[in-house]
Chains A and B, each alone.
Chain A
Amino acid sequence: MASTDTTGTKAAAQDGQGGTAGRAGQAGLDVAGLEAGLDALETTGSARVPLRSTLVSKVLPPVTAVVLVLVVWEVLVLCHVAPAYKLPSPGDVWGEVTDAWMQGTLFGYIWTSVSRGLLGFLLALVIGTPLGLVVARVKPVRAAIGPILSGLQSLPSVAWVPPAVIWLGLNDQMMFAVILLGAVPSIANGLVSGVDQVPPLFLRAGRTLGATGLRGTWHILLPAALPGYLAGLKQGWAFSWRSLMAAEIIASSPDLGIGLGQLLENGRTNSSMSMVFLAIFLILIVGIAVDLLFFSPLERWVLRSRGLAARR
């Protein structure tokens, strides 16, 4: 097919329209109107959920559940199902809270553990992210350490406490080592599965736009893998916190300060069940609070902005 004779075609076609410019213009307007109509019909607006219904649908149920548990607990205590040294009453535990508050030690316990946990988690993030990326994208590396990485996730990190104590001694480094061994595999695996779930179409589209190599990783692969990565981070935090508590309970030493794990261990050695309960509640509350204040909103925002989660 000769290509020279076609170069003028478009212009010719346009010139040919000279006489019917009116019709073309009219048609253009019609299309614009039709299109606007289609757009309006097929787009649905989203309204904000009023605060009151949020309170009723999201805050009321968990509060009710907690109150119910407290009531059942109090009833069990009143019925004397177990002696007081085994089952303290909610009031005893609350007394423990106010004592710690009055002595000004309550936040000390929490902060000792939370600061360790967060620092350990951030370290795990810094190590786990590039590790996950390499495992996901480099085939030989994946074949070599992929299965080990998944296997490590099912190993309870408490198993690392004895060797960590022997290698590093009773200090903060040992705590961080246990946290890392617990959280790094979760974070890396989360990123690997996030990358695996990236639709190939995005990568093709990215390549046609010129996003190859590192630019492709930064602009396409990482944002596309974000939901899986976030799930990994969330699990990584849970593993960090659990590992830390295991380490604190097993390896207590006066040099380490009193975190929530030591508080629990101290309660056991002092036969103070209310102190043990206090420690357990604080551990639980911190875990829930970090998830509720940080990971859940982040995850919801990511999913919602991509249209992956319905407004609930």
Chain B
Amino acid sequence: MASPLAKAADETPAADHAARIDHVSKSFAGPAGRQLVLDDITLDVAPGEFVTLLGASGCGKSTLLGLVAGLDEPTAGSISTGGRPALMFQEHALFPWLTAGKNIELALRLRGVPRPERRGEAERLLELVRLGGAYGKRVHELSGGMRQRVALARALAQDSRLLLMDEPFAALDAITRDVLHDELTRIWRETDVSILFVTHNVREAVRLAERVVLLSSRPGRVAHEWRVDIPQPRRIEDHDVAALSVEITEQLRGEIRRHGQH
């Protein structure tokens, strides 16, 4: 499929990774002195790869995503991405003073797309998330699932090779979330974008990703990785998805249990 997103013929030559997280540590000044949140994380995301970061609360997965997004600096180590990554939050973070279409056009404008092309490109992106008629809709007129789809379209409008997603479907009801899993998988396959997706939902992680990375908590370290070879399109209730989820959940529980022992 000839997607305009594929035209990411950047100034940078095609790298062998969409994101390289190299021995990254992060600590914050807390009430009890400096607190180590991320400890020596090393993780590559290949071009076009879909990776989910899984962990219990306190594993610093959102902190890590913020570092990759460039919203914060690591205490040690380095992160390289080809250009500024797009970021999607748990809250849609759409600007309520703009319509759905204008939200996307703002992203295009900030990326430097000339004015005459913006409208058409915004409408194409809305079509991609199957919201063709929503251009003139205000944010509050859209349902939760529609808002997240517009947010996805806005993130795609940045034309980044890397899309970071911070539990973007956590606040949605189960049926809507299912539908958005299907949509995200479809869009990921139609484009050449790489996705680093943070979640605490094991089934979601397995449903979506090619690779699941489990982080331990306090401090966050890479505890384990699984390659998911189940062919897409998967369903969250598929037997293979369930089986792998059981295995990963066991490991996750083990990680959590460790914290109760001291």
Confirm or deny: A226 has a beta carbon within 8 angstroms of a beta carbon on chain B. Answer: yes
Q: How many pairs of A and B residues are in contact by the CB < 8 Å rule? A: 129
A306 and B69 alpha carbons, distance in the complex (Å) = 28
**Which of A16, A35, A210 counts the most chain B CB atoms within 10 A?**
A35
- Please report the total number of B residues contacting A with Cβ < 8 Å: 54
Q: Is the CB of A31 within 8 A of B182?
A: yes
A219 touches B176 (CB 8 A): no
Task: Answer whether residue A223 sits at the interface, using C-beta atoms and an 8 A cutoff.
Answer: yes
Name A13's contact: one of B130, B146, B189 (CB within 8 Å): B189
A interface size (C-beta, 8 A): 44
- A198: min CB distance to chain B, Å: 11
Binds A, one of B93-101, B236-244, B250-258: B93-101
CB distance from B2 to the nearest CB of A (A): 14
Roughly how many angstroms separate A202 CA and B97 CA in the complex, as a whole number? 11
B46 and A224 within 8 A (CB): no
Q: Does A27 contact B (CB under 8 A)?
A: yes
Are B141 and A43 in contact, CB atoms less than 8 angstroms apart?
A: yes
The 8 A CB mask of B82-125 against A (1 = contact, 0 = none) is 00111101010101111000000011001100000000000000
Report if A57 contacts B (CB, 8 A).
Answer: no
A38 touches B110 (CB 8 A): no
- Chain A residues near B211 (CB, 8 Å)? 1, 6
Q: How far is the CB of A228 from chain B (nearest CB, A)?
A: 13
Within 8 Å by CB of A9, from B49, B141, B143, lies B49
Q: Are A215 and B95 in contact (CB under 8 A)?
A: no
- Find out whether the CB atom of A210 lies under 8 angstroms from the CB atom of B111: yes
CB < 8 Å neighbour of A38 from B93, B95, B176, B225:
B176
Q: For the A-B complex with A208-B71, A209-B154 known, give 6 more contacts whose Cβ atoms are closer than 8 Å.
A: A6-B46, A7-B46, A10-B189, A34-B175, A42-B144, A210-B84
List 13 interface pairs A-B (beta carbons < 8 Å), by A numbering. Answer: A3-B49, A4-B16, A9-B210, A10-B192, A34-B179, A38-B143, A39-B143, A209-B110, A210-B110, A219-B110, A223-B95, A224-B97, A307-B139
